[in-house]
């Protein structure tokens, strides 16, 4: 566990109306740390990201950069330095690649916005070469790259990625996930929701496993027996297993 976490979550409960999806979630992410959030379909992974970024009401405490984030306030989350790239590479298809990124930097001073758009494009040469093309002309993988680049324009302290590999070929999956390594090396923290467990574990420092709306495992990504521990955690064999000392 990071000694001085960037993100610290305790007692988080969230859901949709009267349906409770998450119960008493606790997790931490350090500055510049990449963490994977793993779990079976329906475990609540997307719900957790939505609750953290303020897209969904929650109870419990979410502290980011030493300050408590207000409940259900996406604007405050973005202003604090948290960016959430939702599942499904949602971009403005009738706008150019460049204009999509300019919109992502709305509200920034012009000079800073232009600089940060160029820095975001540098992560993905494939879309930088198409900066003047409409997003509708991009492949699914390129649209996913654009969605991630949008999240980078504001230079977030924490980037949350929800299933960035969904629907992509293996080559494009590797290309998108390679950005996680680049971000971590550059000091940006990442919370990655991903179904491709082996690929996710290869680019992160730690993992949390979510099942039945609760954290059931916390471990280092380098742990030799991680796959077996994940399987046991998913199927409910044993209680929450903390990070080994």
Q: Three-state SS across the chain?
A: CCCCEEEEEEEEEEEECCEEEEEEEEEEEECCCEEEEECCCCCCHHHHHHHHCCCCCEEEEEEECCEECCCCCHHHHHHHCEEEECCCCCCCCCCEHHHHHHHHCCCCCHHHHHHHHHHHHHCCHHHHCCCCCEHHHCCHHHHHHHHHHHHHCCCCCEEEEECCCCCCCHHHHHHHHHHHHHHHHCCCEEEEECCCHHHHHCCCCEEEEEECCEEEEEEECCCCCHHHHHHHHHCCCCCCECCCC
Which residues does 186 contact at the CB level (< 8 Å), separation at least 6? Answer: none
- Measure the CA–CA gap between 208 and 26, rounded to whole angstroms: 10
Assigned fold of 1-81+157-245: Rossmann fold (3.40.50)
Does residue 242 have a pLDDT over 50? no
Reading the block at residue 117, the tokens are 């758009």
The β-bridge partners of 191 are: 35, 160
- Measure the CA–CA gap between 52 and 54, rounded to whole angstroms: 6
| Number of other CB atoms surrounding residue 236 within 10 Å | 10
Out of 65-74, 104-113, 166-175, which region has the weakest mean confidence (pLDDT)?
166-175
Does residue 244 have a pLDDT over 60? no
What's the pLDDT score for residue 231?
86
Does residue 204 have a pLDDT over 50? yes
| Number of other CB atoms surrounding residue 40 within 10 Å | 13
Over residues 85-109, the mean pLDDT reads 88
8 A C-beta contact, residue 149 and residue 113: no
- Measure the CA–CA gap between 214 and 44, rounded to whole angstroms: 8
Instruction: Give start-end residues of each CATH 3.40.50.300 domain in the chain.
Output: 1-81+157-245
For 92, phi then psi, to 5°, come to -85, 100
Give the pLDDT confidence of 14-59 residue by residue, as tens digits.
999 899 999 999 999 999 999 999 998 889 999 999 999 999 999 9
What's the pLDDT score for residue 174?
87
User: Residue 115: how many CA atoms within 13 Å on its side-chain side?
Assistant: 6
Closest CA to 207 of 240, 181, 230: 230
Does residue 235 have a pLDDT over 80? no
pTM above 0.85, yes or no: yes
């Amino acid at each position: 566990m990071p000694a001085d976490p960037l993100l610290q979550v305790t007692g988080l409960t969230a859901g949709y109306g009267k349906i409770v999806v998450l119960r008493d979630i606790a997790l931490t992410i350090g500055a510049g740390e990449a963490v994977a959030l793993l779990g079976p379909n329906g475990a609540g992974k997307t719900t957790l990201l939505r609750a953290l970024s303020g897209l969904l009401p929650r109870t419990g405490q979410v502290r980011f950069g030493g300050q408590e984030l207000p409940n259900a306030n996406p604007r405050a989350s973005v202003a604090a330095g948290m960016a959430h790239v939702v599942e499904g590479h949602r971009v403005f298809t009738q706008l150019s690649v460049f204009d999509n990124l300019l919109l992502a930097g709305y509200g920034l001073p012009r000079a800073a916005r232009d600089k940060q758009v160029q820095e975001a494009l540098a992560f993905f040469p494939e879309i930088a070469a198409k900066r003047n093309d409409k997003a509708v002309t991009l492949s699914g993988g390129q649209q996913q790259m654009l969605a991630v680049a949008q999240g980078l324009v504001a230079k977030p302290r924490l980037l949350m990625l929800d299933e960035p590999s969904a629907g992509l070929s293996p080559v494009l999956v590797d290309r998108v996930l390679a950005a996680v390594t680049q971000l971590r090396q550059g000091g940006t923290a990442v919370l990655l929701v991903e179904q491709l467990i082996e690929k996710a574990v290869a680019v992160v420092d730690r993992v949390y496993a979510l099942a039945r709306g609760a954290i059931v495992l916390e471990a280092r990504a380098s742990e030799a027996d991680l796959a077996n521990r994940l399987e046991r955690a998913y199927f409910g064999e044993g209680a929450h297993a903390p990070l080994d000392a």
